[in-house]
Amino acid sequence: MNVQLNRIVTRGGDAGETDRGDGARVRKDAPLIEAGGEVDALCAGLGLALSLDGTPADQAKLLREIQNDLFDLGAELATGAVEGAARPLDGRASIDDSYVARLDQACADMNADLAPLDSFLLPGGGSPYSAQLQVCRTTCRRAERRLVAIDAPGPTLAYLNRLSDLLFIMARAAEPGSAAAERTWVARRGVR
């Protein structure tokens, strides 16, 4: 897709509406726009993670691929192609089962090197990079909920679900000293 952006300031959104990629005008609080905003926030959060010191090279490569995936999804959202399980004009959703399979494999590969968990983890504490991946994980979960609200197709939802799992695994793998650096939840009275 060739995109040319000559003008960034258009003033077209000053009254609370925006253009979809198909030319339709919609309110900025429309569920489809909310979903696109969360995907955009996730992509930006991954960009922040990539800018931090200590980003492992193998993870950086994967995160850049994921950012491209998220732009594919964002393009569908911008045209309304995922709303109500509709499909883009060419009949194919950009996020398909092959995207999910790639994340499944990355989860399996990275998780194989990690110690099993015996409690929930408290995010952060080891490195800014790992903490940012945990923030991205929660943004991913929020994006997933927004896409559920617009009846996005199954592979898209599976992709975001798997991505949040992968971000959790990546955050664990990136912790200095890994298992030793992880802080676990200690349940208080009666909470399990």
CB atoms within 10 A of CB 55: 19
CATH of domain 24-87+94-112+119-175: 1.20.1200.10
d(CA 168, CA 11): 39
pTM above 0.85, yes or no: no
d(CA 164, CA 148): 15
| C-beta of residue 121 within 8 angstroms of C-beta of residue 183 | yes
Q: What is the CA angle 48-54-57, rounded to 5?
A: 90
Q: List per-residue pLDDT tens for the chain, 192 residues long.
A: 565 566 666 665 565 676 766 777 776 777 888 899 999 999 999 999 999 988 899 999 999 999 999 999 988 888 776 555 444 434 456 789 999 999 999 999 999 988 787 777 767 767 899 899 999 999 999 999 999 998 888 899 999 999 999 999 999 888 766 555 667 666 776 655
d(CA 149, CA 143): 10
